[in-house]
Structure 1
Amino acid sequence: MIERRTVFKAVAAVSAAALAAACSSSSNEGTATPQGAGGDKGGAPVAPVAKITATPAAGAKDADVREPVVVKVTEGKLTEVKVTNEGGDAIKGELSADGLSWTSSEPLGYGKNYTYAAKATGTDQREAEFKGSFATISPAKQMRATLNPGDDAEVGVAMPVSVKFQGGAPKDRAAVEKALKIKTSKDVEGAWGWISPTQVDWRPKEYWPANITVEVEANLYGVHLGGGVYGKSDVTTKFKVGRNQVVKIHTPDHVMKVYRGGAESASYPCSNGLDSVTDRNTPNGTFIIMSKEPHAVFDNARYGYTNVNKKWACRFSNHGEFIHENQDNAAAIGKTNNSHGCVNLLEADAKAYFDSAMIGDPVEVTGSNLGSPTSSDVKDWFYDWSSWKSLSAAK
């Protein structure tokens, strides 16, 4: 009868910001001084035939930080290209094998000025030069995002991928989703869904296949999130989905069953939320194990208890529900539902389940009079597939 405690790396993608000066420019091309006589009889010099252009164009003020700097030449080959930042450091780049272009290979900084200088030898064997500078976009604000699960985590088959934004809500949700990528070692159907203004999750249509790897890229740096706000940095993670373990509780039965790979592996007598008081029912829905605490302290002033210590507590809802030991309630376990919403187990059973449980394991509750708690911020599995897909901003 103890529960209801409220607990609970750089680049990518698509930018919604249009690069106004993204076309090539030759307005700043230098003209090589002809060597020797040449030109018409009046002695006018003949310009080198090699033409060097660059993107962003010389003088651009709002260059996209994710688009590469590209320097090209016609009627010749590039012999030298250097793009430097405000500190005079050269940014990385590579000359193509045919000598016709040079492309930068590192992202640019926000609100920075860059200078380029290039030389080429034309088909007329004369040297052409090109110089210029440009500036990158300056965001009104930069917004940071985090990813969960973290690197090298091993999680259960119901674990969603969560992208959470810090310091505000992105206005352009479609741009965010275009910047997010999921790669799995086995094909998995899934979709993104916004479960709050600051959180977008990806969940599979069905539970993840067991024992696969998942790689996630949130390529948000340089992405216009709306209202002059841009992504602060890219974030990535790689994690593993472990064995398939599912808990099933039909509350009137007073039994918690554990399934491994689809087969029943354990059955524990339990006491669930008090049937006669709907607000104290263990709510229906598919939840996930959110955290594990060998020792937990429970408080609920509404029901008149504080600082109650219980062992082997596995949280499965931010509404306040846990699976935990309650040896003090042994007389009711397996016979009567009298808790405040938690699933009470005998100590030995609670320890056995705790040792088997993994963050992200599904907990399926049926038979209750209480619906799924919308106040929980891990509610991905409360939606049927059609409803979940409707939460996406992608068109």
Structure 2
Amino acid sequence: MSVAGGKLTKVTVTDQSGKEVPGSLGDGDTAWAPTGGLAVSSRYAVHAEGVDTAGRPTASDSSFSTLTPTKDAGPHDNITDGATYGVGMIVRLRFDRDVKDRNAVERAVSFDTPDGVQVKGHWFSDRWVDFRPENFWSAGSKVTVHYRLKSVEVAPGVYGGIDSDQTFTIGRDKRSTVDAATHLMTVEKDRRVVETVPISTGKSSPASWNAYNGTMVVMAKIPSEVMDSSTVPGLEGDAYKERVPHSLRLTDSGTYVHGNNWSDPSVFGHENVSHGCVGLQDAKGDYGDDGSPAGKFYADSMVGDVVTIKNSVGKDVDPSNGYSGWNTPWSKW
């Protein structure tokens, strides 16, 4: 705001809640500008004091409204407020419209952590950014994500849509390492080995049955998952569509740690026979047996737990496949 004659001596701008907007005089005390951006769809009250060209004091009160966006980017994340996740949890923010100003989005998303750890975003597309720290989260820490996107123009004429906070807690530190060569899974809790579980993972041939190498993260827990070969492009062999118990999803493409209740018990710890998943011994039935190796591992798992596969003849997991961004070096994140 500005005056055509005279000078401003004081300007007070308040928002709808009565909070004063920071700003300063400029251009020879003939104009006032806010220090930061104003909120969209908001009304502001203005009290201005000054002197006219003859030096006489004057004052005026007025108001104005900011624009109401006709388009927003429709942001949505993968966090449930108040939930607890494993140390490998990645915060994923997706948009319904393309984001052109990625830097503006990153400035509008901040993280509060008790240890002050830096959290950065990595864009996989114009509609998808993942956030994580350099290393796994600290067990027991509470993390708050602040979204201040409502007044951010993320693309021409498109605004961020939301101002909100999401708080989650990191649970105990559970990391499991699957060795495809020894057919064993080593389970660590709070950096101490607590169990070694016989497993069977991806068969070496055909290639489409190979397990991925790399660090993956539990994305979902499903007590009984329908696994359909038609949903996995390029998967060789006979078609199948079966219910599988105690399923922990690791990738979008269909990698799981799950109960295997069809193979002979002698397979576990000795052979790799799966279509790329990690199978643990389980009992017959859609839901298996909660007391089986698969059932016990499932019950003790949570979304965000880390599972690393090594020594597979398969390729490395793509960082965009599931919550696998930990495979991207921090220098490139």
- Aligned residue in 2 for 1:25: 2
Shift of the 155–113 alpha-carbon distance from structure 1 to 2, 3 Å rule, reads closer
My pick for the range that moved more, 377-386 or 130-139, is: 130-139
Asked if residue 349 in structure 1 is aligned to residue 293 in structure 2, the reply is yes
- Aligned residue in 2 for 1:314: 248
- Aligned residue in 2 for 1:21: none
Say which SS state the counterpart of residue 117 (structure 2) adopts: coil
Shift of the 170–135 alpha-carbon distance from structure 1 to 2, 3 Å rule, reads same
- Aligned residue in 2 for 1:379: 324
CA–CA distance in structure 2, aligned partners of residues 337 and 251 of structure 1: 7
Q: CA deviation at 1:156?
A: 0.4
TM-score in terms of structure 1 length: 0.68
Shift of the 131–325 alpha-carbon distance from structure 1 to 2, 3 Å rule, reads same
Asked if the contact 2:89/2:323 (under 8 Å) is kept, the reply is no
Q: CA deviation at 1:147?
A: 2.7
Q: Which has the higher contact order (CA 8 A, sep 6+)?
A: 1
**Partner AA of 1:93 in structure 2:** G
CA–CA distance in structure 1, aligned partners of residues 268 and 137 of structure 2: 32
Shift of the 135–93 alpha-carbon distance from structure 1 to 2, 3 Å rule, reads closer
Q: CA deviation at 1:370?
A: 1.6
My pick for the range that moved more, 156-165 or 129-138, is: 129-138
Asked if residue 363 in structure 1 is aligned to residue 286 in structure 2, the reply is no
Q: CA deviation at 1:154?
A: 0.4
CA–CA distance in structure 2, aligned partners of residues 196 and 373 of structure 1: 18
Asked if the contact 1:145/1:235 (under 8 Å) is kept, the reply is no
Could you list the runs of 5+ residues in structure 1 that have no partner in the other structure? Answer: 1-23, 30-49, 55-69, 72-82, 84-89, 97-102, 121-125, 389-395
Asked if the contact 1:28/1:132 (under 8 Å) is kept, the reply is no
Identity of aligned residues (%): 29
Asked if the contact 1:26/1:52 (under 8 Å) is kept, the reply is no
Asked if the contact 1:157/1:209 (under 8 Å) is kept, the reply is yes
Asked if residue 164 in structure 1 is aligned to residue 94 in structure 2, the reply is yes
CA–CA distance in structure 1, aligned partners of residues 210 and 95 of structure 2: 33
Q: CA deviation at 1:372?
A: 2.6
Say which SS state the counterpart of residue 77 (structure 2) adopts: strand
Say which SS state the counterpart of residue 299 (structure 2) adopts: helix
- Aligned residue in 1 for 2:183: 254
TM-score in terms of structure 2 length: 0.80
- Aligned residue in 2 for 1:304: 238
**Partner AA of 1:320 in structure 2:** G
Q: CA deviation at 1:141?
A: 2.4
| Corresponding residue pairs, total | 300
My pick for the range that moved more, 157-166 or 134-143, is: 134-143
User: CA deviation digits over 1:219-257, x for unaligned, max 9?
Assistant: 111112132222112132110011000010110111111
- Aligned residue in 1 for 2:29: none
Asked if residue 217 in structure 1 is aligned to residue 146 in structure 2, the reply is yes
Shift of the 95–169 alpha-carbon distance from structure 1 to 2, 3 Å rule, reads closer
Q: CA deviation at 1:309?
A: 1.7
Quick one: which of 196, 201, 204 aligns to 2:133? 204
**Partner AA of 2:321 in structure 1:** S
- Aligned residue in 2 for 1:91: 16
Larger Rg: 1
Q: CA deviation at 1:312?
A: 0.7
Asked if the contact 1:193/1:200 (under 8 Å) is kept, the reply is yes
* Residues 207-246 of structure 1: pairs in structure 2 closer than 5 A: 207-246=136-175
CA RMSD of aligned residues (A): 3.0
